[in-house]
Chains A and B, each alone.
Chain A
Amino acid sequence: MAAKYTKGIAGIWLEEAQILKATRKVRESGFTKFEAISAYPIHGMEEAAGIKRSWIPYVAFTMGLAGLAGGLALTYWTSAVNWAVNVGGKPFFSLPAFVPIMFELTILLSALSSVGALFYACGIPRMDPPVIDPDLSCHKFAIFIPHNDNGYDEAKIESMFKELGATEVKKTEY
């Protein structure tokens, strides 16, 4: 996937509590396109960054239903329409016997489509995205504000980051 990266400015923090506070502040300052980066999911981050609840469950539910209907259609059409064979006097449309197939296909489609949706939502897979700091996947935290965000002003952002306890401020692309 060809990826486009934007230039911007990033601040780096060392404490979980500080990054939460900083994220809240950045959001209150009117920025909307910023990214908060961490090595693990942080409790309370969604609220601080103003992230809406993920839409992936809708995909999972819809595709689960599709799997269920697909399982019913497959078993019904093959066993009762296309190749109706009398197996021990059982009805051609033996619904209880088809339940396991329908169930498994529900789970399969739902699970695979939610992973597909995750890939779409996160823009992965992509090769070698820019790394602001290799320690961000270990013990450091960062906020990245892209140059095209509302009221982008490098000097102001830098001083805001410093005020919020950032140990480092970098001009970078992400």
Chain B
Amino acid sequence: MMKRSPLVLGNKTLKDVTDDICAPVERFPSKGWVGMFLGAKTLLLFYIGILASVVGVGIGLLGVNSPVFWGTMIVTFVFWIGIGHAGTLISAVLFLFRQKWRTSVARTAEAMTVFAVMTAGLFPLLHTGRPWLDYWLFPYPNQRGPLWVNFRSPLLWDVFAVSTYATVSMVFWYIGLVPDFATIKDRAKNKLRRTVYGALSLGWRGTAKNWSHYEMVYLLLAGLSTPLVLSVHTIVSFDFAVSNLPGWHTTIFPPYFVAGAIFSGFAMVVTLMTLVRIGFPEFKNYVTLDHMEVMNKIIMTTGMLVGYAYASEFFIAWYSGNQYERFVFINRAFGPYGWSYWIMVSCNTIFPQLFWFRRFRRSIPVMFVVSILVNIGMWFERFVITVTSLHRDFLPSSWGMYAWSWFDTGVLVGSFGMFLTLFLLYLRLFPAVSIAEVKPVLHVGYDDKGGHH
């Protein structure tokens, strides 16, 4: 039989697991956490200011103008939605495949999903320019006669896909948290904590009958989230692919977008997990180097998938014999936005290849840098797709450039403030590793006497 390396290091007992995972929630926050939180919060306040100006003055503050009508808002929306995908993938797809290593990272990855989708969701709403009318996006009986939304539009499919995705991932995450909230409640030393976590735990009791239903619902949610996660980025890609614009009108978009989403999502999980391991050293026994290595392998694989997609787009542009298509792709690589194309290609297809070497796959500094490069590359991928396709279309008389303003920078940078603030609060208030899911896999990789294989 193949020997397995332990999923949890340090020969932990059940009580150790509870103590370790509850520790960050129960102790006073460290200086490092407070510093990072204040930084993130300042960035969030700056973001709120930027968004208030954009809403108050109008989206003319951003660089969107003829011919580039989709800019930072849409680019960053697709970027953040993509980040979310790794969370659902780890929690749902790997659950269905019975990948036990997921237990240590699933909770934090799901939290990342929820916060990334919240961050992403704001962008299309603000991009409309009149966010106070955004409720028009939903089909509801209204007083304007029989006036309904256009269900034939991919933009409306997006409304349904993203709101369903947000709802289901939040529910999935919360259901996973319920038994752990009960654990924290039972350990609570003061009344306030007991009441708050008691309410969050919904009065969970952990009887065998409860667990039986609970496991079934968890399986169902995993089974439902799996096609959901694939559908979300597929539908986001339809926003582009269903148009007739060269550079967007591509059948490879749905799988290519999904692969890119998983790629960037896993990169973000690795970035955050390296930070969590530094900030909370007790988690090193749960999120081990083996876990990081597996995620790096996934980053490398999906990196090659997107590399394949880049190549295939070029091939089809040539093979189709369509001169507009050919022009767009040559322009993409060698035109005025060529620099963004080469940032994308180098960050997404070259640097992840380092992970062919075990030494780099298991090196925290290397994986941290590569994961950040991947995220930069994936933001540029969305920038390349959106902006380079729009700035040169069929008629040279309608060509133009995207007038990037510092409000665009503010929106992009500020969104990280929102995401990080939520994420840092999560790390302090919620158990960051699933206590109830780690306990059953404690014995994996140990023999009967408690030694390693």
Q: List residues of A whose CB falls within 8 A of some B CB.
A: 3, 23, 35-43, 45-46, 49, 51, 53-54, 56-57, 60, 74-75, 78-79, 82-83, 85, 87, 90, 94, 97-98, 100-101, 103-105, 107-108, 110-112, 114-115, 117-119, 121-129, 131, 134-139, 174
Contact = CB atoms under 8 A, between A and B. Distances in A.
Given A53-B212, A115-B221, 19 more contacts: A41-B436, A51-B212, A56-B217, A56-B220, A82-B146, A100-B157, A104-B231, A105-B160, A114-B220, A115-B171, A117-B217, A119-B202, A121-B209, A124-B203, A126-B202, A127-B199, A138-B186, A139-B14, A139-B15
Contacts of A87: 150, 152-153
A90 B15 CA distance: 63
Contacts of B246: none
Residue in B151, B187, B199 whose Cβ sees the most chain A Cβ within 10 Å? B151
Contacts of B39: none
B221 A111 contact: yes
Contacts of B204: 122, 124
A57 B148 contact: no
Contact of A38 (B157, B187, B211, B235): B211
A52 to B, nearest CB: 8
A125 B440 contact: no
B215 A101 contact: no
A110 B227 CA distance: 13
B147 A83 contact: yes
A132 B183 CA distance: 13
B440 A43 contact: yes
A111 B224 CA distance: 7
B116 interface: no
Contact of A39 (B183, B202, B208): B183
A55 to B, nearest CB: 9
A152 B69 CA distance: 75
Contacts, number: 194
B151 A98 contact: yes
8 contacts: A42-B440, A45-B208, A56-B217, A82-B148, A115-B171, A122-B213, A125-B202, A126-B202
A78 B215 CA distance: 39
Given A125-B203, A137-B179, A40 B208 contact: no
A57 B221 CA distance: 10
Residue in A43, A90, A108 whose Cβ sees the most chain B Cβ within 10 Å? A108
B264 interface: no
B171 to A, nearest CB: 6
A134 B217 contact: no
Contacts of A112: 167, 171
Given A41-B214, A79-B151, A107-B164, A35 B202 contact: no
A43 B443 CA distance: 13
Nearest to B16: A139
B292 interface: no
A134 B213 contact: no
A25 B167 CA distance: 43
